[in-house]
Structure 1
């Protein structure tokens, strides 16, 4: 049974029967994703580990946790840590269905910095397994003219299951 579960994790998310939508996807974000992303290369965990070893920049688009509404004044709230693939740039909140101007600017700035201003430079975009946020962000990158986008739908869980380098504490990109 363990071997079957490990094989499923290594194979990546169950994507075979989800059609690629014509627009960005909203709630629920944690759901099966398509096996394709027009204009991007879909990669599995082994390919992600190989690209990471080659120094290809990784962009994590998982949202940031915000202070819960309704906390009494004076309550100390600490943002929970987010762990990510070593070296990844955490472009938080850039995978929503609809982006605010600040989120769109963060994505555009992050893509430009990670690519060194070269829209042909390879970039890997990920989040969690079966998470539409990475699909949305990768689709936006393609729409912005980035020609070598690698979408990693297995995300952090796929990375860990495949034996990728241990996760590290993420530092959020500047607002």
Structure 2
């Protein structure tokens, strides 16, 4: 009997916590379990993301950029910004998923959304980052609050994309500030 219960628990997979949608935007820690929902947006999985990508829907990557040299490096250390890989064709709207955005980051998000949708708030767009990353949830929620009606939030991000056999990732180029 105990073996049957243990086997059933193993086959059921890991337990997933129910994460409620917050009233506002989420701050630190950004890498944490995310809600299964986003009011006003459509939540998609990798299979749906791959289909939307094949249909030519614009993808917006909101992973932060690590362009600043880390504090405390020894004198004379050469530091290079680490490369960021993303879904082919995605526009990297870096730093647009934080809890609070500086005016430049807000403008980057608004401009990126406008360009990706051709200025049509009814045009579809996919917003993603990494798996279990609140950056994409925050950015997708902002897109909804800006009046975009066909926001697809892809919470599995690049990890789920790769696991599902999506096109190989490519090196991202950040959009101009």
TM normalised by structure 1 equals 0.89
1:60-86 Cα deviation digits (max 9, x unpaired): 000011311234565422101000000
Show the counterpart of 1:52. Answer: 53
Give unpaired runs (5+ residues) of structure 2.
1-12
Superposed CA deviations along residues 98-156 of structure 1, whole A, max 9, x for unmatched, are 10111101000100010111111000000000000000000000000000000000000
Residues 1:153 and 1:136: Cα distance change in structure 2 (over 3 Å): same
Equivalent residue, structure 2, for 1:121: 123
Q: How many residues get paired? A: 165
Matching of residue 18 in structure 1 with residue 32 in structure 2: no
Q: What's the Cα RMSD here?
A: 1.8
In 2, Cα distance between the equivalents of 1:83 and 1:138? 20
Residue 148 to residue 160, structure 1, CA distance change in 2 (3 Å): same
Q: SS of the residue aligned with 1:110? A: helix
| Mapping 1:2-151, distance limit 5 Å | 17-65=18-66, 66-71=68-73, 74-151=76-153
